[in-house]
Amino acid sequence: MRLALLFSGQGGQRPEHWQQLRAEAGGSLRASLWQVLPGLLENKSVVAPVELLRNSIAQPLIFAWQMLLWEKLKARLPRPICAAGYSLGEMAACSAAGLFTAAQGVVFCAERAAAMDRAATGEQGMLAVLGLSESLVQRLAAENGLALAIRNAPRHLVVAGPRAGLLRMAQRCQENGASHLVHLAVQTPSHTAALTSAAADFQQVIAALPDCRLAFPVFSAIDATAARSGRAARDALARQICTRLDWAACLQSVLEMQPDVVLEIGPGNAMSKLFSELAPEIPSRASDDFRSIDGMVSWLESRSR
């Protein structure tokens, strides 16, 4: 089986993800969670959805949940041929490839979130725009004090910036015939120059990571460059915080690796859906589509026969 992994970013997290993590995380992973989210882990079995939007909670929580699933899966699956991570998901992709441990990654994600929160004050967010050309979206974004942050597909783009500008942008996009608009569950202008200082701060946080050989290539969400060494992956992780992502190119590079099957390790299933739009002939599903690890493994094995 030629398996490719996709790791999703922020936005799809739900209280049940937290509940599973709180119930099942153990050892060094639980210790790291206790370090960065002490009150949450000790006192709350249920977390309100609005709390899960906060960077300081969302980023370490999502990463830890992804790594909890990966630890359960990796012994039962062949080594992946490649991985890619959407925004925050690139942290999980790099950890799965061996750049740092899950326990280290939880702490790194907390530092990443803190750096981003320091860099962008006030009400910030992100807006997905479908059905308009890239040139038009860029023009409307500039007119409203926003920046193009992510290219998911030629007519599926994400802009980021101050909340007031996003509201004006949504109105202008509707007037210009956008087919769909989604205010993302993210509270920072990720992947824009507004987070330049956050990228520099995070570069210092991970600077001491060794220049190891990764277990499999990780495609940078910035430009689909394949990182095979720790140094390349580390540099991309810092740079992507303030740099526009070309996720469409990233998915194209995954496709060119000729996978038999693609698994998204969530939360959510947006990445597997995007890949299915690109390559409907290749089976692609997300961990959130399944009730159990056994079900996930059975489906993956059935796709390789």
Q: Judge whether residue 204 has pLDDT over 70.
A: yes
Mean pLDDT of all residues in 192-206: 98
Q: Judge whether residue 56 has pLDDT over 80.
A: yes
What was the pLDDT predicted at 253?
98
What was the pLDDT predicted at 44?
60
Mean pLDDT of all residues in 173-191: 95
SS (H, E, C) 16-30: HHHHHHHHHCCHHHH
Angle at which helices 196-205 and 102-119 cross, to 10°: 150
Alpha carbon of residue 70 to chain centroid: 15
Per DSSP, helices labelled H in 47-101 are: 55-73, 89-96
237 within 8 A of 280, measured Cβ to Cβ = no
Mean pLDDT of all residues in 189-212: 96
- Rounded to 5 degrees, φ, ψ at 136 are -70, -45
Q: Judge whether residue 60 has pLDDT over 70.
A: yes
Tell me the C-alpha distance between 156 and 136, whole Å: 12
What was the pLDDT predicted at 167?
97
Q: In what order do the strands lie in the sheet with 82-85?
A: 226-229, 213-219, 82-85, 3-7, 261-265, 284-286
User: pLDDT tens-digit profile of 270-286?
Assistant: 999 999 999 999 999 99
User: pLDDT tens-digit profile of 120-131?
Assistant: 889 999 999 999
Q: Which two tokens stand for residue 263?
A: 């698994």
Predicted TM-score (pTM) of this structure: 0.95
Higher-confidence residue of 292 and 13: namely 292
What was the pLDDT predicted at 52?
80
CATH code for the part of the protein at 3-119+194-303: 3.40.366.10
Question: Residue 56: CB partners within 8 Å, gap ≥ 6?
Answer: 110, 113, 114, 117
Q: Judge whether residue 47 has pLDDT over 90.
A: no
Mean pLDDT of all residues in 6-10: 95
- Give rounded-to-5 percent helix, strand, coil for the chain: 50, 20, 30
Lowest mean pLDDT among 64-68, 235-239, 248-252, 299-303: 299-303
Tell me the C-alpha distance between 271 and 25, whole Å: 25
What residues does CATH 3.30.70.250 cover in the chain? 124-187
CATH code for the part of the protein at 124-187: 3.30.70.250
> 168 has which bridge partners?
none
Token pair 């890949």: residue = 275
Tell me the C-alpha distance between 152 and 128, whole Å: 9
Higher-confidence residue of 10 and 192: namely 192
What residues does CATH 3.40.366.10 cover in the chain? 3-119+194-303
Token pair 């995954």: residue = 254
Average pLDDT, the chain: 94
User: pLDDT tens-digit profile of 105-159?
Assistant: 999 999 999 999 999 889 999 999 999 999 999 999 999 999 999 999 999 999 9
Q: Where are the beta strands (DSSP E) in 113-198?
A: 124-130, 147-153, 156-162, 180-183
Number of alpha carbons in the 13 Å side-chain half-sphere of residue 170 = 17
What was the pLDDT predicted at 250?
97
Tell me the C-alpha distance between 71 and 77, whole Å: 11
- Rounded to 5 degrees, φ, ψ at 77 are -130, 155
What was the pLDDT predicted at 43?
62
7 within 8 A of 66, measured Cβ to Cβ = yes
What was the pLDDT predicted at 104?
98
Mean pLDDT of all residues in 39-53: 70
What was the pLDDT predicted at 41?
63
Q: Judge whether residue 50 has pLDDT over 80.
A: no
User: pLDDT tens-digit profile of 233-265?
Assistant: 999 999 999 999 999 999 999 999 999 999 999
SS3 210: coil
What was the pLDDT predicted at 45?
62
